[in-house]
Chain A
Amino acid sequence: MILARVTGSLTSADKDLELVGYKLLVVQPLGLDDAADGEELIAVDRVDAGVGDKVLVVKEGNAARQITGRDRVPLQAVVVGVVDHVDWLAGEER
């Protein structure tokens, strides 16, 4: 799983039938110090996350299929948690 920040939401009326009914979010993967790390990606939201939230994203298709209960859902990223805080060794402690 990775940490990411929700930067937007995606509206899409025309999509694969297996994706119908899911809220799609745009998330920005985060590196150290919450800096953007890599390109934004589209993830299904399962925890009612909102724009600005720091979230936990699982990037694995099999996990996505288990979470949605749809074994043919063409999906690779799911928001599975809203992060309250992360305790970690910053700066010179590392």
Chain B
Amino acid sequence: MHFARVLGPLVATAKIPSLRGYRLSWIEPTDARGRPLGGPLVAVDTRQYGPGEWVYFVTSREASLPLRDPFCAVDAAIVGKVDHVDLEDGISTSGAPGAAARTR
């Protein structure tokens, strides 16, 4: 699993049947300290996280496992929210520095 910041929800009215009913979010991967890494992607969010929240996600085959249809056509899914990360150098990072919601 990888860290990411939720940038915001994504709306797609026309989509394949197995994706209907799921919330899609645009997310940007971060490192373990919450620093953005670039390379944003779209992930299914079964847990209703909002813009700015620090989450973690799975990719590839495992992304469809939280969904009703385990053979659904998705390749990324948010599976949890980061409360904090305790790192070996004593730094404890919370999801605090939330990126403001943006609309593009």
Binding site for B on A (CB under 8 A): 6-16, 18-19, 24, 26, 39-43, 51-52, 61, 64, 72-77
**A10 neighbours in B (Cβ, 8 Å):** 56, 82, 84-85
The listed residue with most A CB atoms (<10 A of its CB), out of B70, B80, B86, is B80
Q: Which residue of A lies closest to B37 (CB)?
A: A39
- Assuming the contacts A16-B80, A19-B79, asked whether A74 and B88 have C-beta atoms less than 8 A apart, the reply is no
Check B86 against A8 for contact (C-beta < 8 Å).
yes
Q: In angstroms, how far is the closest chain B Cβ from the Cβ of A27?
A: 10
Q: Inside 8 A of A52's CB, which chain B residues have their CB?
A: 88
Q: For A11, give its contact among B59, B77, B85 (CB under 8 Å).
A: B85
Which interface class (under 10, 10 to 19, 20 to 34, 35 or more) fits B?
20 to 34
Which residues of B lie under 8 Å from residue A9 when comparing CB positions? 85-86
By a beta-carbon cutoff of 8 Å, the part of chain B in contact with chain A is 1-3, 29, 31-32, 37, 46-47, 56, 58-63, 65-66, 70, 77, 79-88
Cβ–Cβ contact A14 & B47, under 8 A: yes
Which residues on the B side are within 8 Å of A72 (C-beta)? Answer: 65-66, 70
Known: A12-B56, A61-B61. 12 other contacts (CB 8 A): A7-B88, A12-B81, A16-B80, A24-B1, A26-B85, A40-B3, A43-B1, A51-B86, A51-B88, A64-B62, A72-B66, A74-B63
A12 x B82 contact (CB < 8 A)? yes
Choose among B3, B31, B66 the residue that contacts A16 (Cβ–Cβ < 8 A).
B66
Given A19-B79, A42-B1, answer yes or no on A74-B65 (Cβ-Cβ < 8 Å). yes
A contact residues around B37 at 8 Å (CB): 39
Pairs of residues from A and B, 6 with the lowest C-beta to C-beta distance, nearest first = A15-B80, A42-B1, A8-B87, A16-B79, A61-B62, A74-B65
